[in-house]
Chain A
Amino acid sequence: MKIFLTLSVLLFTSLTPLLSQELKGIVINKENNSPIPFASIWVVDLNSGASCNSQGKFSLDFSLPQTMNLKVSAIGYTSSIVTLNKKDTSLITIALSPSHIELQEMEISTTTGILQNYSITNVESKSLEELTTISTTSLGQSLGNISGVYSNSTGNGINKPVIRGMSGMRVSTYLNGLKIENQQWGGDHGIGVDALGIEKVEVIKGASSLLYGSDALGGVIYLHEEEYAESNKFEAGITSQFESNSLGVTNGFHMKISKKNIRFNLFGNQTSHADYQVPSENYVFNSRFKGQGIKAALGMNKKNWVGNIRYTFVHNELGIPGHTHDSVPSQDDLFKTTTSRKKTLPLQVNSSHFLSTDHKFFFEKSDLKFTFGLVSNNLEEYDEKVTIPGIAMKLSTFSYNGLWSLNRWKKHTFLLGSQGNFQTNRNNERAEEILLQDLESNSVGLFSMIHSKWSKRLETQIGIRADRNEFTISRGSLNEEKLTLDYQSINYSAGLSYTENKHAYRLNISSGYRPPHPIESLANGVHHSSRRFEIGSLALRPEFANQLDVSYEYKNDHVSVLVNPYISVIQNYVFLSFTESFINNYPVVNYEQNELTYFYGGEVSFHYHPHFLHNLHIETNFTYLFAEDEKGRAISQIPQPRIMTLLTYDIESKFKILPISLALQNTYFGSQNRVIENEINSSAYNLLDLGASWKIAAPKLKGQVKIGARNVTNTSYINHLSEIKPLGIQNPGRNFYISLNLSINQKIK
C-alpha cells in the first residue's frame, strides 16, 4: 500500500503544467483557403469537443492535456488528425481537403494511441451508422456487414461474430478497453452486448495476441461507446424500431451532458421479438427473445489527467429454437403456424454487468494509461423446467491493463504494457447439472513494442509478448482431484506500411495463442442448447497461430480499391468431432485437435463514386476463405464466399417529403461444399435489401426516419454458419422495418 501511495504521489507531482490557455483556431478548405463552416473539432483523448461556427472558427475553453490529438472533420472533406502541444497557443489553422470518398488516411490506434499514416495491423473501422444503412435486428448482424466478418447465429436472438472463419474463444471482444467474458466457449452463447450506446466498431482481422493477449487468435472486435456531447451542451433523445417479421420492437433513450471538464452519458433500451417467420409463412418455434440494457459513462479531466468510469448492464432472455428430444426431429416440433413471445423452454438467461475505469496521464514525452474492470456474467440455461435451470454459472472477471507510451525520440514511439485477469467460475447449486466445473484462472501478459516513423511514407512496428495462463479446476467427473493447468507462450508482431501518393502497401506478420479452455479439457455432459453430449480431453495442447497479411490500396477522388490476401497457419487447432454414439438421444462429440490447419483467404473492397453522378456511391466487397488440415481435409463451419454490394444515392431536394437517401444492398453467398463428415453442404443464395431515410431537422431538434425491408424477395435460405442448420431451419424471410430517432440539444451555461 505504501509503495502504491509513494508511486501515486510521484506520479502526480511529476505532471507537467497544464495547457490552461484557451485554444482558438479556424478550419479552412485546403484548395481555396475558404473557411469551412460547422466543422467538428474532436479532442480524441477526452471523447469530447466542439463545433466551428459559420465562419469556420472554433474555440476550446476547457482544461486540455499537455499534448493532444484533434480529429477535425466536415461533410465533403477528408477528416484530419492534428497533434498539438502546449506551444501551439496562437490561433491555429487546420486545412481539410475536399473529398467525395471518406478516405482512411490518418489513424490513431485504439490500443496504443499511436498516430500513424496508415494502419500497420489490419484494422477495419466502421461506425454503427454505416453498418445500419439498412437497419439490422442485432449488433451481430450489423458486424456481418464488414468484409471478412460473418455472423454465427442461433435464430434471431443469438449472434456471434466470425472473423476470417474463427469465432467464440478465438475472437476477443472488447467494450471500450474491457474484455467481454461471458462463457464465449458455447456455440450458442452470443456476443453478450447489443448496439446500445455503441458508436463505432473496429475489427482487427487475424492473430493479434501481441496487444490483446491470449484468445485473440482469429481477431478482435473492439466496440467504442458513443462519445460525450460537445462541451457545454446537453442532448437527449429517443429511438424506436419495429420489424414486421418477428413483430420486434426496440425502444431506447439517451441523455448526454457535458460541462467544461466533466461529462456524463446515459443510455437505456428494451427489446422484444416474437418467433420469426420463414418464407413458407411458418414461424420458428421459440426463436423469441427479449432484453434490456442500461449504460452510463462519466468522464472527467483535470490538468494532464483524463479519466472515465463506465458501467453497462445487459439482460437477455433468449429462446433456443430447434429443440427436440428425438434423433429424427418432427417438423411440428420446430415450426408453428402462429407466433408468440411468451417465455417457454429451452431458454437461455444471460445477464452481465460491466464496470470499468480508465485513466490516462500525460507527461512531456510520454503518457501512461490504466484500465481496471470487473465483468460479472450470470448464465442460466433452462431445458426441462422453467424454475430449475439445467446449468447455471456465474463467471466473475477482474481485469487490469497498463500501457506506458514513450515519445522521447523523434521517429520512434516505445510501448511497454501489461494485461491480466483473475477469473472465477461458480456453478449454482440450483442447477440440475454441471457441464463446466468451478474453476479459478489467472492470466498475465507483458509486452513491448516499437513504432517507428522513418519518413512521411514509411512506418514500421515490431513487438514481443510473454503470457502465462493458469487454471485451477475443482474435482469433477473427468478429474478426481483438484487440477492445475499451466500454459506459457511467446508472441510477436512485425509490420510495415508504405504510402506513396495514391498507393498504400502494408505487410504484417503476427502470432496468436490460445490455451485450451477447461470446457475443452474437462467437459463431460449435455450442452442442451447446442443439442450435444460433449466430452473434453486433458491431452489438448495450446493453439498457436502465425499469420501473414499483405494489402495494397489505391485511391483517388472517385475510386478506392483494396486487395488484402492472407495466410494463417494454426498449430493444434481444436475442433468438435462427432462420433456415432448417442447419449439420451444427444449425439456424442469429442474435443480433438489437428496438428496443422491452414486458412488461406482474402478480402477485396471497391468503392466507386462516379464523377458524373456525385450523389451515387457504389461499395462492393468480396470475402473468400479456404481452410484445410495437414492432410488436405476440410475444416467445419467455414463461411461461404460472399459478394456484398451497397448502392446509396443521396437526394438533394427542397421537398421535405422526399427521402434524403436511398439504399440498395445485394449480398450473394456462394455455395460451401467443403464440409466435414456429418456437416451439411450449403447452397448459393442471393439476398436483396432496400432502405430509405428521411431527415427531421428543426431548431434544437434533429432526427431520422428509416423505412426499408431485408430479404425483399423472401428468399428461402440457410446460412452455413447457422447453428440450427442441421435441423433444416431457415433464416428469416422478408422483414419490413421502420425506425425513428429524435434528439434535442442545446447549450448550457
Chain B
Amino acid sequence: MKKTIQSILIIAGLSVFSVSCNKSECHECHYDKDGEEVELGEKCDSDLETLEAQGIDVNGINYEVHCHEH
C-alpha cells in the first residue's frame, strides 16, 4: 500500500515538474529581401529572442526576422 502511494506521488511530482519545466525552444528563421526569403537556419532561445527583437543587419540595412512555419 505504501509503495502504491509513493509511486502515485512520484508520478504526480514528475507531472508537476514537466508542467513547470521550460524546454529549449528552436525555430527556423528567415528574413525577406527583395521579395525573396533568405533562410537563417534554426535559432534557439536567446539567439532567437535577439533576432526577433533586433532583426538582422545586412550591408547596413536592418531586416525584420520571422521565425515561424508558413
Instruction: Show 22 residue pairs from A and B whose CB-CB distance is below 8 angstroms, ordered by the A residue.
Output: A234-B1, A234-B5, A236-B5, A255-B5, A257-B5, A268-B11, A268-B12, A268-B16, A270-B18, A292-B15, A292-B18, A292-B19, A344-B68, A344-B69, A385-B67, A386-B25, A386-B27, A386-B52, A386-B67, A388-B49, A388-B53, A748-B1
Interface residues of A (CB under 8 A from B): 234, 236, 253, 255, 257, 266, 268, 270, 292, 294, 313, 315, 333, 340, 342-345, 384-388, 744, 746, 748
Asked whether A386 lies within 8 Å of B48 as measured between CB atoms, the reply is yes
For residue B58, CB closer than 8 A to chain A, the reply is no
**Chain A CB within 8 A of B61 CB:** no
Asked if A236 and B68 sit within 8 Å, CB to CB, the answer is no
Give the chain A neighbours of B27 by CB distance below 8 A: 386
> Closest 10 A-B residue pairs measured CB to CB?
A344-B69, A345-B68, A268-B15, A385-B52, A292-B19, A387-B49, A255-B8, A236-B8, A344-B68, A387-B52
Residues of B within 8 A of A384 (CB): 66
Is B4 an interface residue, CB under 8 A from the partner?
yes
Query: For residue A237, which residue of chain B has the nearest CB?
Result: B8
Contact B5 A253 (CB under 8 A): no
Q: When the two chains form their complex, are residues A388 and B52 in contact, meaning their CB atoms are under 8 A apart?
A: yes
Q: Taking the nearest CB of chain A, how far is it from the CB of B60, in angstroms?
A: 23
Nearest-neighbour CB distance to chain B for A351, whole angstroms, equals: 10
Residue of B nearest to A747 (CB): B1
Which chain B residue shows the least CB distance to A342? B69
Query: Can you add 5 more A-B contacts, CB < 8 Å, to A253-B15, A388-B49?
Result: A253-B12, A294-B12, A333-B70, A344-B68, A345-B69
A270 to B16, CA, bound (A): 10
Give the distance to chain B from A135, nearest Cβ to Cβ, in Å.
22
A385 to B12 alpha-carbon distance, docked (Å): 34
Question: Which residue of chain A lies nearest to B69 when distances are taken between CB atoms in the complex?
Answer: A344
User: Contacts A387-B53, A388-B53 known; A253 to B18 CB distance under 8 Å?
Assistant: no
Contacts of A236 in B (CB 8 A): 4-5, 8
CB nearest to B67 among chain A residues: A386
Contact B1 A270 (CB under 8 A): no
Give, as a whole number of angstroms, the nearest-CB distance from A254 to chain B.
Answer: 9
Give CA–CA (A385, B49) in the complex, Å. Answer: 9
Q: How far is the CA of A236 from the CA of B3 in the complex (A)?
A: 12
Q: Which residue of A lies closest to B4 (CB)?
A: A236
* Whole-angstrom distance between the Cβ of B26 and the nearest chain A Cβ: 10
Contact of A746 among B1, B19, B70 (CB under 8 A): B1
Chain A residues with CB below 8 A from B11, complex form: 253, 268
Q: What is the chain B residue whose CB lies nearest that of A313?
A: B19
Report the separation of the CA atoms of residues A340 and B11 in the bound assembly, to the nearest whole angstrom.
Answer: 28
- Measured between beta carbons, the chain B residues less than 8 angstroms from A253 are 8, 11-12, 15
Structural contact, B49 and A255, CB atoms closer than 8 A: no
Contacts of B25 in A (CB 8 A): 343, 386-387
Contacts A234-B5, A386-B25, A746-B1 given; indicate if A270 touches B68 (C-beta within 8 A): no
- Beta-carbon nearest neighbor of A291 in chain B: B19
Does B12 contact A255, Cβ atoms closer than 8 Å? yes
Q: Which residues of B contact A385 (CB under 8 A)?
A: 52, 66-67
Chain A residues, Cβ within 8 Å of B70:
333
Is the CB–CB distance between B67 and A294 below 8 Å?
Answer: no
A315, B5: Cβ atoms under 8 Å? no
CA distance A294 to B67 in the complex (A): 31
Closest residue of chain B to A346 (Cβ to Cβ) is: B68
Cβ contacts under 8 Å, B4 to chain A: 234, 236, 744
Query: Which residue of A294, A386, A744 has the most chain B CB atoms within 10 A of its CB atom?
Result: A386
- Measured CB to CB, the nearest residue on chain B to A384 is B66
Chain A residues with CB under 8 Å of B12's CB are 253, 255, 266, 268, 294
- What is the distance, in angstroms, from B20's C-beta to the closest C-beta of chain A? 9
Which chain B residues border A344 with CB–CB below 8 Å? Answer: 68-69
Given contacts A746-B1, A748-B1, contact A294 B15 (CB under 8 A): yes
**Complex: chain B residue closest to A744, CB-CB:** B4
Smallest CB separation, B37 vs chain A (Å): 15
The CA of A292 and the CA of B15, in the complex, are separated in Å by 9
Q: Report B1-53 residues with CB < 8 Å from chain A CB.
A: 1, 4-5, 8-9, 11-12, 15-16, 18-19, 25, 27, 48-49, 52-53
Q: B70 — nearest CB in chain A belongs to which residue?
A: A333
If the complex has contacts A253-B12, A386-B67, are A315 and B19 also in contact, measured as CB distance less than 8 A? yes
Write out the residue numbers on chain A whose beta carbons fall within 8 Å of the beta carbon of B67: 385-387
- Measured between beta carbons, the chain A residues less than 8 angstroms from B9 are 255
- Closest Cβ–Cβ distance, residue B51 to chain A (whole Å): 9
Nearest chain B CB to A348's CB is how many angstroms away?
Answer: 14
A294–B16 contact, CB under 8 A?
yes
Residues in A with CB closer than 8 Å to B8 are: 236, 253, 255, 266
| Cα A315 to Cα B19 with chains together (Å) | 8
Chain B residues whose CB sits within 8 angstroms of the CB of A268 once the complex forms: 11-12, 15-16
A292 CA to B48 CA in the complex, in Å? Answer: 25
**A270-B15 in contact (CB<8A):** yes
The smallest C-beta distance from A733 to any residue of chain B, in angstroms, reads 23
Q: How far is the CB of A132 from chain B (nearest CB, A)?
A: 22
Q: How far is the CA of A746 from the CA of B53 in the complex (A)?
A: 57
Q: How many Å lie between the Cα of A47 and that of B67 in the bound state? A: 50
State in angstroms the CA–CA spacing of A253 and B16 once bound together: 12
**Nearest-Cβ distance from residue B65 to partner chain A, whole angstroms:** 8
B residues less than 8 Å from A345 (CB atoms):
68-69
Give the chain A neighbours of B19 by CB distance below 8 A.
292, 294, 313, 315
Determine the distance from Cα of A292 to Cα of B49 in the docked complex, in whole angstroms: 25
Residues of B contacting A294 with CB < 8 Å? 12, 15-16, 19
A345 to B15, CA, bound (A): 26
Interface-centre pick from B8, B11, B25, B53 (highest chain A CB count, 10 A) = B8
- Tell me which residues across on chain B come within 8 A of A292, comparing CB atoms: 15, 18-19
- Smallest Cβ distance from A476 to chain B, in angstroms? 25
A1 to chain B, nearest CB (A): 35
Residues of chain A within 8 A (CB-CB) of B53 are 387-388
Q: Please name the residue on chain A nearest to B52 by beta carbon.
A: A385
Query: How far, in Å, is B35 (CB) from chain A's closest CB?
Result: 15
| B45 → A minimal CB distance (Å) | 9
CB distance from A432 to the nearest CB of B (A): 11
CA distance A266 to B10 in the complex (A): 12
User: Are A387 and B48 in touch, CB under 8 angstroms?
Assistant: yes
Chain A min CB distance to B47 (Å) = 10
User: How many Å from the CB of A377 to the closest CB on chain B?
Assistant: 16
Question: In the complex the two chains form, is A386's CB within 8 Å of B68's CB?
Answer: yes
Q: What chain A residues lie within 8 Å of B66 (beta carbons)?
A: 384-385
* Chain B: CB-nearest residue to A253: B11
A385 to B8, CA, bound (A): 39
Kindly list chain B residues whose C-beta atoms are within 8 Å of the C-beta of A313: 19
Cβ–Cβ < 8 Å partners of A257 in chain B: 5
Rounded to whole angstroms, the CA-CA distance of A294 and B68 in the bound complex is: 30
Q: How far is the CA of A266 from the CA of B12 in the complex (A)?
A: 8
Contacts of A748 in B (CB 8 A): 1
Which residues of B sit under 8 angstroms from A746, Cβ to Cβ?
1
Residues of A within 8 A of B52 (CB): 385-388
Complex: A388 Cα to B49 Cα, angstroms: 8
Q: How far is the CA of A313 from the CA of B25 in the complex (A)?
A: 23
Tell me the complex Cα distance, A316–B70, Å. Answer: 22
Instruction: List chain A residues, Cβ under 8 A from B69.
Output: 340, 342, 344-345
